[in-house]
Chains A and B, each alone.
Chain A
Amino acid sequence: QQQVKQSPQSLIVQKGGISIINCAYENTAFDYFPWYQQFPGKGPALLIAIRPDVSEKKEGRFTISFNKSAKQFSLHIMDSQPGDSATYFCAASMNAAAGNKLTFGGGTRVLVKP
């Protein structure tokens, strides 16, 4: 049973375009929603994260939008660049008492064409 569902599985966007990745979760105990970026041959690295008391968070060209009532959150990559080509994972985590376990979505492979 996948608690975090991510779509699409892959995405091709032209340089300068907008990449949008969506995630939906089921467990209302989740209270931290990070996005991880993974380049080929590397481990995932934290890109940006949001807590449910905020509806949007922006860091440079990356924006997370969060809809608590719909239990959905999304990543927008503005002005996409070839260097953004990577696999992106959404994730959700419970509080410290639950061991900080991250539950990941299935991943989205993004290819930015020059």
Chain B
Amino acid sequence: NAGVTQTPKFRVLKTGQSMTLLCAQDMNHEYMYWYRQDPGMGLRLIHYSVGEGTTAKGEVPDGYNVSRLKKQNFLLGLESAAPSQTSVYFCASSYWDPGEAFFGQGTRLTVV
């Protein structure tokens, strides 16, 4: 049972480049989330999804887009990367019960 899998694990981008982060979960969870983690800031919600075909903005959505075409996958896109988007990105999924989220191992993104 893989749980939540994120790819890639590491990436370096140049300013202005684009990329997509992939999150896959095999627990049949309805809810999926993308967070970014920065020192002292905790984890901040970028976008989330309450089911296949749905997406919604979180706390810090600017500069990111998401898609949930299949229930098990949640994609995070950066259209034009900026140095301020240097961070560790975590995907998570959960059942309908609030609070118990299962996280992937993270993607460390550096924008130079």
Contact = CB atoms under 8 A, between A and B. Distances in A.
Contact of B106 (A9, A43, A89, A102): A43
B44 A104 contact: yes
A99 B48 contact: yes
A94 B98 contact: yes
A87 B92 CA distance: 18
Interface string A1-32: 01010100100000000000000000000011
A74 interface: no
A86 interface: no
A45 to B, nearest CB: 7
Contacts of A42: 105-106
Interface in B45-75: 45, 48, 50, 56, 58-59
B105 A31 contact: no
A94 B56 CA distance: 16
A96 B41 contact: no
B105 A41 contact: yes
B41 A106 contact: yes
Interface of B: 4, 31, 33, 35, 40-45, 48, 50, 56, 58-59, 90, 92, 94, 96-106
Interface of A: 2, 4, 6, 9, 31-34, 41-46, 49, 89, 91, 93-96, 99-107
22 contacts: A9-B40, A32-B98, A43-B4, A43-B103, A43-B106, A44-B90, A45-B103, A49-B99, A89-B42, A94-B98, A96-B96, A96-B98, A99-B48, A100-B94, A100-B97, A100-B98, A101-B48, A102-B33, A102-B43, A102-B45, A104-B35, A104-B43
